[in-house]
Structure 1
């Protein structure tokens, strides 16, 4: 499978699991709790397959984590009514910028 597809699957699995973790209310709700387990299973399986293909672990983890953090923050703000302000947006921008620099450094 193409590396970017595996990375996207890992990110979607992780974001889905993390949002479901919040919705599970401390694992007291069955369906979101099952989604947590399945989502993290999908995420780590896709990430493991990506790394097995030779994708650099530092870059894979940086992209996976940065996109996951950004997506969870935005979803939390939009759908879970969690706070999001300019300072938080700047922090996310810096994290994404750091990932881009890692990727640029890998190609040189």
Structure 2
């Protein structure tokens, strides 16, 4: 059971929330916070690609006992293909955020833009 699997959902949600909240207070911080979140996700996805080694990792969110032989709960599955796609998506997102530092500065509402990443 890989404990990194639920973090692929929790970290972007927490990063978007923090970007919206802290972006109002410290507007120059939001672009760096978005970059840090995507850098962390890219590193986690690279670690997941290297540790998956041909198998499938399953993370049981609920962990409830099966009722009548039917498992109840949420299963998050990480295999080779999903780990590779996570790696590609996070690296492309990181490159897009770094590129957008100079591009998006001419527009308003940078706070809302970086919360989408």
Q: TM-score, normalised by structure 2?
A: 0.35
Indicate the structure with greater strand content.
Answer: 2
Indicate the structure with greater helix content.
Answer: 1
Q: TM-score, normalised by structure 1?
A: 0.38
Structure label with greater radius of gyration? 2
